[in-house]
Chains A and B, each alone.
Chain A
Amino acid sequence: MNTAQAGTLESMDCLVTVSEAAQGAGVKIQIAGSSAARFKSAMEKKAAEVIASMGVKDIDISIQDNGALDIVLGARVEAAVKRLIGGER
């Protein structure tokens, strides 16, 4: 199974790991880390938005958060997905 990562575990960043999923499996998002308890739904929404804007339908995403803002989360998800599909390296 192909996986890719982007980001770090430093302060105000997050580490995003994405894995290919079978066709029809949909988007699965897992979130852990410092802000996960309070901002989980907002973070899921942001990640899902970025995924949708990239036209990806089936993917597993794991986010290890260390206080990343919305902007940072979006950028890290986009970078990880691009690495997975080989669009930007």
Chain B
Amino acid sequence: MRRTMLYLPGNNPNMLTRGYLFGSDGLVLDLEDAVAMAEKDTARILVRHFLRQGEFGSCEVTVRINGVDTEYWKDDLAAVIPFPALQGIRAPKVDDAATVKIIDEELSIIEEKNGIPVGRTKIFCLLETAKGIWNAYDIASASPRVAAIIPGGEDLTADLKTSRSSEGTELDWARRMLVFAARAAGVDPIDTVFPRVTDDAGLRKETEFIKQLGFEGKSVIHPNQIPIIHNVFNPTEQEIEKALKIVAAAKEAAERGQGAVSVDGRMVDIPVVKRAEYTLVKAGLLEVK
């Protein structure tokens, strides 16, 4: 599940120590924008020590590296890849499939050098430019390592030569495009952060909107945002009850050799069953198939 992926500043020992306690599904240890230029070296060392010895609970652990257009990204990868705690890297400013391939190749070199199965490290791509959004499907399908694509917020808005509004009008099309591209390529669409950390009602509204678009979850910049987003993404009691009924009826029908079946007067076919199973996965009542 990737309902919430919490950013932790890579040079902040306090947040790196306590980050997993806030209950997000994933963590993003940030070596990029949250770290000042003069502290890139110390943050990289600190994050490496945490990956080696730190505590992350059941969180999916990723590191946001610096962009491939900087002098830092290869050192970032070399520092973090060797540790089993790391499940993926979040790559900023991915504009096209070629960027994914460059990172993929470098990951393979480092994995091989460290005796790690090649392909273990996943890539979470941040699409922060108009070009990146336009190339979303190519990016999402550029490597089997790609686990998710994520639209940028601030950078993308700047590239579009507009500004961020409370309604999110400027990101509307990019979000829809990103969901289509991700689903078509079989990767997760994960949303950008909600920047107004004290606006709970605004966060809830935006999360309801992006859930309806088809997003799998959202990036998070403040721990207080986690329960609100989980609350929106978690299935309701009624949804769970209905899903249980559908899955049970489908199982019974299959045992009797029947295809379609009716539940509460509604025809239940394969897509409905799949959706019900997905609801139960999100409720923690069914293992991911």
Interface residues of A (CB under 8 A from B): 6-7, 10-13, 68-72, 74-76, 78-79, 82-83, 88-89
Contact = CB atoms under 8 A, between A and B. Distances in A.
Interface class of chain B by DSSP: helix
Contact of B42 (A11, A12, A76): A76
A82 B14 contact: no
B41 interface: yes
A68 B13 contact: yes
A71 B83 CA distance: 15
A69 B14 CA distance: 9
Interface of B: 12-14, 17, 41-42, 44-46, 48-50, 52-54, 75
A79 B14 CA distance: 17
A12 B45 contact: no
A13 B49 CA distance: 14
A21 B266 CA distance: 81
A6 B49 CA distance: 14
Nearest to B14: A12
Contacts of A82: 41, 45
Nearest to B51: A71
Contacts of B46: 72, 75-76, 79
Contacts of A6: 42, 45
Contacts of A12: 13-14, 17
Contacts of A74: 49
Contacts of A76: 42, 46
Contacts of B49: 71-72, 74-75, 78
A18 B253 CA distance: 73
Given A76-B42, A79-B41, A11 B53 contact: no
A87 to B, nearest CB: 9
Given A69-B17, A75-B45, 12 more contacts: A6-B45, A7-B42, A12-B17, A71-B53, A72-B17, A75-B42, A75-B46, A79-B46, A82-B41, A82-B45, A88-B41, A88-B75
A82 B12 CA distance: 19
B147 to A, nearest CB: 27
B45 A88 contact: yes
Nearest to A10: B14
A68 B16 CA distance: 12
A11 B15 CA distance: 10
Contacts of B12: 10
B13 A79 contact: no
B13 A69 contact: yes
B8 to A, nearest CB: 13
Contacts of A7: 42
Contact of A11 (B14, B41, B44): B14
Contact of B48 (A10, A13, A75): A75
A78 B52 CA distance: 14
A89 B41 contact: yes
A72 B48 CA distance: 10
Nearest to B38: A89
Nearest to A80: B42
B154 to A, nearest CB: 25
Nearest to B11: A8
